[in-house]
């Protein structure tokens, strides 16, 4: 059963929210480090799926919206990038780990930063000391990130 006050309440709430000042009306209390304008920002937010600007402070996205509004946030040290209508995917990080091989690599000897053949051999020796007798040493990451078998 619907409440007779529901529609007037929602209407009043909408009118109040429209009368609140927007981000562009306020002087920024801080300036972002980076502002990207004139972009096609895919926000992944169903309420605002596309925008044309994004502001970043430190390693956080602090605002997404219209280029005109976001550009007003920039301070004298803010780097402003004109994306020239290119696509921007905020927060997209492809760590690209192959699940099984990544897991095996974590449990094998790490040889990536071994500086000398002697250090390479010492690491394998110390790793082997921790294994049960007869267990094979497989994997490991060698020079230049190439797998070692």
Number of domains composing the chain: 2
pLDDT tens column, 119-141 = 989 999 999 999 999 888 877 66
The H or E element that residue 6 is part of is: helix 6-19
- Assess whether 82 and 132 both reside in one domain: no
Which carries the bigger pLDDT value, residue 93 or residue 30?
30
- Assess whether 76 and 115 both reside in one domain: no
The H or E element that residue 126 is part of is: helix 117-129
Residue 94 lies in a domain: no
- Assess whether 76 and 37 both reside in one domain: yes
Return d(Cα 90, Cα 92) in angstroms, integer. Answer: 6
Return d(Cα 129, Cα 143) in angstroms, integer. Answer: 22
Residue 114 lies in a domain: yes
20 pLDDT above the threshold of 70: no
- Residue 120 has a pLDDT of 86
- Assess whether 103 and 83 both reside in one domain: no
Q: What is the pTM of this model?
A: 0.48
Return d(Cα 144, Cα 52) in angstroms, integer. Answer: 40
* CA 120 and chain centroid, separation: 35
- Assess whether 20 and 69 both reside in one domain: yes
Phi, psi of 21 (to 5 degrees): -65, 145
pLDDT tens column, 56-115 = 999 889 999 999 999 999 999 999 999 999 999 866 677 777 888 777 777 888 888 888
Residue 6 lies in a domain: no
- Residue 105 has a pLDDT of 78
Residue 103 lies in a domain: yes
**Residue range 50-60: average pLDDT?**
93
- Assess whether 70 and 109 both reside in one domain: no
* CA 132 and chain centroid, separation: 41
Residue 44's domain is classified under what CATH number? 2.30.40.10
Q: Which domain holds residue 53?
A: 11-88
Residue 106 lies in a domain: yes
- Assess whether 84 and 19 both reside in one domain: yes
Residue 120 lies in a domain: yes
- Assess whether 22 and 83 both reside in one domain: yes
**Residue range 35-63: average pLDDT?**
92
- Residue 93 has a pLDDT of 72
Do 67 and 77 form a contact (C-beta atoms < 8 A)?
no
């Amino acid at each position: 059963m619907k409440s007779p006050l529901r529609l007037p309440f929602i209407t009043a709430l909408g009118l109040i929210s429209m009368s609140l000042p927007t981000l562009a009306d306020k002087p920024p209390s801080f300036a972002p480090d980076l502002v990207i304008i004139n972009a096609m920002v895919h926000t992944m937010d169903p309420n605002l799926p596309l925008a044309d600007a994004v502001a970043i402070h430190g390693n956080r996205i602090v605002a997404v919206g219209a280029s005109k509004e976001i550009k007003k946030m920039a301070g004298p040290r803010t780097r402003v990038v004109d994306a020239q209508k290119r696509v921007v995917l905020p927060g997209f990080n492809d760590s690209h780990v192959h699940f099984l091989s990544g897991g095996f690599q974590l449990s094998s000897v790490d040889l990536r930063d071994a500086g000398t053949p002697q250090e390479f051999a010492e690491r394998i020796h110390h790793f082997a000391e921790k294994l049960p007798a007869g267990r094979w040493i497989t994997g490991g990451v060698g020079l230049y990130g190439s797998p070692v078998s």
